[in-house]
Structure 1
């Protein structure tokens, strides 16, 4: 069983790397931030805390999200809520694995909003690294797996039963 878990972990890592390459190819102008860098930004009281935008569905967001994240519809054309953000405040967009958020980050950049980053690996990577996620202001251990296929990138201990 241990060997199977180790092999599956390696497959998950390779799949994440492939997705990251695909996202980089599809959205070459979108800047990435990894989970460690975001965690450091959130802890640094000497710099403006980033505005976190969750680009998942309402159902996914309701299960859990990164603390202080605001949900934004990744398909929206109405970016007025974000346009008032100070130009020196970073904006970090995330979704399940990074594709929808990269698409939204590109749209924000094209709209003239600056200092935008896509969270590499999304909330799946964040949770897989054991970082805190929240539901209704309280820590939780589950993440919506998006669907049965993409959910395989999320460690089983973080799965909710919703798909």
Structure 2
């Protein structure tokens, strides 16, 4: 009986609780560190509360992309629209737009005249017939996949490669035109239910 009282005394229970908490925390840290993020199209981020004002979520996302791909040139949506409408102003010629999302995303909507290139192989095939001095602007949903592709192309020797910062989500959120074929539409594939929160509700295709 005495041993039982000693074992279940408050100090002993408190010690057990603390040790258990430490073990759980350690397991969580190890699990997080070894998640195969390479298998994901975009990295994991904290789930955000559903609101139309996702300023913090956007800011965190863009900073993360810039930090992940420091060698990639980021092009703002304003700059791209000016470039497309008045290509002579930029003195670089009209850029080629590459949409690096999946086919089902592209078919919902895309930027006008954008070419689908969902893989590195497809991107190389598209660029084979393009003059080496022609600028190329890539985009995806928020800019992670397109920055990854831009980084790949830059390492392959393509110098005038840019990522559209914020990509089609930012472009559409700002009221800029997207198309399904040649027809202007007002929906965008939201990628998934987490990243889709960066896209205005009225624009989501589901």
TM-score by length of 2: 0.71
Q: Does the CA-based 8 Å contact 1:32-1:120 persist in structure 2? A: yes
What's 2:76 paired with? 34
Query: In structure 2, how many angstroms separate the alpha carbons of the residues matched to 1:23 and 1:78?
Result: 20
**Mapped pair 1:49 → 2:94:** yes
CA-atom RMSD, angstroms? 1.6
What's 1:3 paired with? none
The verdict on how the C-alpha distance between 1:77 and 1:49 changes in structure 2, with shifts beyond 3 A counting, is closer
More helix by share: 2
Q: CA deviation at 1:87?
A: 2.9
What's 2:181 paired with? 136
Instruction: Please point out which of 56, 64, 80 is paired with 1:14.
Output: 56
Give structure 1 stretches of 5+ with no counterpart: 1-6
Query: In structure 1, how many angstroms separate the alpha carbons of the residues matched to 2:83 and 2:60?
Result: 26
Query: In structure 2, how many angstroms separate the alpha carbons of the residues matched to 1:158 and 1:80?
Result: 32
The number of equivalent residue pairs is 154
Q: Which has the higher contact order (CA 8 A, sep 6+)?
A: 1
**Mapped pair 1:105 → 2:147:** no
Where 2:51 maps in the other structure, the secondary structure is helix
Query: In structure 2, how many angstroms separate the alpha carbons of the residues matched to 1:78 and 1:39?
Result: 22
The verdict on how the C-alpha distance between 1:62 and 1:109 changes in structure 2, with shifts beyond 3 A counting, is same
Query: In structure 1, how many angstroms separate the alpha carbons of the residues matched to 2:150 and 2:117?
Result: 11
Q: CA deviation at 1:147?
A: 0.6
Moved more, 104-113 or 76-85: 76-85
Q: CA deviation at 1:16?
A: 1.2
Q: CA deviation at 1:90?
A: 1.1
**Higher CA-based Rg:** 2
Q: CA deviation at 1:78?
A: 6.2
Q: CA deviation at 1:123?
A: 0.2
Where 1:76 maps in the other structure, the secondary structure is helix
Q: Does the CA-based 8 Å contact 2:117-2:126 persist in structure 1? A: no
TM-score by length of 1: 0.89
Moved more, 48-57 or 73-82: 73-82
The verdict on how the C-alpha distance between 1:140 and 1:111 changes in structure 2, with shifts beyond 3 A counting, is same
Moved more, 97-106 or 68-77: 68-77
Q: CA deviation at 1:86?
A: 2.0
